[in-house]
Amino acid sequence: MRILASPEWRLAIITVAVFALMAALSPERFLSEGNLVSMAFQFPEFAILALAMTLTMMTGGIDLSVIGVANLSAVVAATLLASFAPAGIGTVESLPWLALAYTSALIVGATAGAINGLLVARLALPPILATLGSGLVFTGFAVALTGGSAVMGFPESVAWLGNSRMFGIPVPLIVFTLLAYALHFLLTRTSFGLRATLYGANPLAALYAAIDTSKLLLRVYVISGALAAVAGLVIMSRANSAKADYGSSYLLLAVLIAVLGGVNPYGGRGRVIGVVLAVLSMQILSSGLNMLQVSNFARELIWGALLIVVMLINTVDWSERRSKQPEVQGKVTGESS
């Protein structure tokens, strides 16, 4: 039973169980190659947002502006492509334009992240409030830029990021895998990751350990913003358009996946592998429910219920740990609130 004590193992079991359940309920359709491939195209966009959420939650923060950042970055890239790139150009001629658009989107994302970082680190605003306000501002800029309508009409090469395959593997899946590995490496193999985790576990201790917490938080939110921009570009490629209100349901989903993946929302604990497993189980559940003709509303219901149930299960474990080290736990929550 010791295997159940680790959230990652618990999740692996849940993922396999959900997969087996869906495969048993509708084997010929769920296990078809078409379905498996379409799942691999669907999840990377919100999974990348979940990675951004994971990183900020590790520091005891949260980034509620990811959707706003993703859409603003995509709208900027889309506007560049749609209004300045010559219409009807071939793939090769469109590449410089694509590079320009993607770079601008990443710069927009990183800048937005830097603004969040400054608000959290320099002004000492609670992350919920800072990213809530900035998220409205970013969404607002996207609305103001587009007048609220979708931006369309790109060169065909835009479709590559979201819709094509390399060596038979969907490109968005490759992008997600690389980013997930990069985040895993960053969190476990670099001093930045160690400091971010320490800050999340106990901000005061991090300060006393002579960590430049302002710089640390700034970097965390810049990375989060850049990840959101990548997600925005994938969404833009898949939708072949960009709009200020795409993916509004992804915010809850990103928080849900991070929490489901065993990231402690109070900070200091979380592993990328858990988040990846959570993504997989969510996508399997989502596709399976889709096949069983369950409505979108019921999916919302199940996500909400799942979020709370997972939190409940995780608390059972924490309370056991808490009873062993009451003082430490008390300090951690006291500082992060």
Partner 1 sequence: MKSVFNKQFWTRNETLVAVVIILFCLIASASDPRFLSATTLTDLLRASIVLGIFAIGAMLVLISGGIDVSFTAIAVFAMYVATVLTLGTIPSLPWYLIFTLSILIGAALGALNGLFIARFGLPTLIVTLGTLSLFRGFLLTFVGSERISKLPPGMRDFSRSMLARGTTESGNFYALPLAFAALVFVVVLTWFILHKTMLGRSIFAIGGSEESARRIGINVRATQFFVYVYVGALAGLAGIIHGSLGRMADPFSLVGLELSVIAAVVLGGARLTGGYGTVSGTLLGVALIVLVQNSLIVIGIPSTWQSVAIGLLILIGTGLPAWQAKRAAEQAA
Binding site for partner 1 (CB under 8 A): 62, 119, 122-126, 128-130, 132-141, 143-144, 147-148, 252, 255-256, 259, 265-266, 295, 297-305, 307-308, 311-312, 315, 330, 334, 337
DSSP H helical ranges for 26-126: 27-30, 33-42, 44-58, 66-84, 91-121
Question: What does the alpha-carbon distance between residue 195 and residue 39 come to, in Å, rounded to a whole number?
Answer: 35
**Is beta strand 169-170 parallel, antiparallel or unpaired with respect to 165-166?**
antiparallel
Shortest distance in whole angstroms from residue 308 CB to partner 1: 4
Only one residue has tokens 């995509």, namely: 74
User: Is-contact 232 45, C-beta < 8 A?
Assistant: no
Nearer to partner 1, 173 or 244 (CB): 244
Shortest distance in whole angstroms from residue 122 CB to partner 1: 8
Shortest distance in whole angstroms from residue 252 CB to partner 1: 6
Nearer to partner 1, 152 or 313 (CB): 313
Closest CA to 293 of 14, 21, 26: 26
Nearer to partner 1, 170 or 232 (CB): 232
Nearer to partner 1, 35 or 139 (CB): 139
Nearer to partner 1, 133 or 193 (CB): 133
Question: What does the alpha-carbon distance between residue 119 and residue 185 come to, in Å, rounded to a whole number?
Answer: 27
Shortest distance in whole angstroms from residue 178 CB to partner 1: 29
Nearer to partner 1, 25 or 301 (CB): 301
Shortest distance in whole angstroms from residue 143 CB to partner 1: 5
Residue 232: Cβ-neighbour burial (10 angstroms; 0-12, 13-18, 19+): buried
- Looking at residue 120, its amino acid is V
26: how many CB neighbours lie within 10 A of its CB?
14
Shortest distance in whole angstroms from residue 249 CB to partner 1: 8
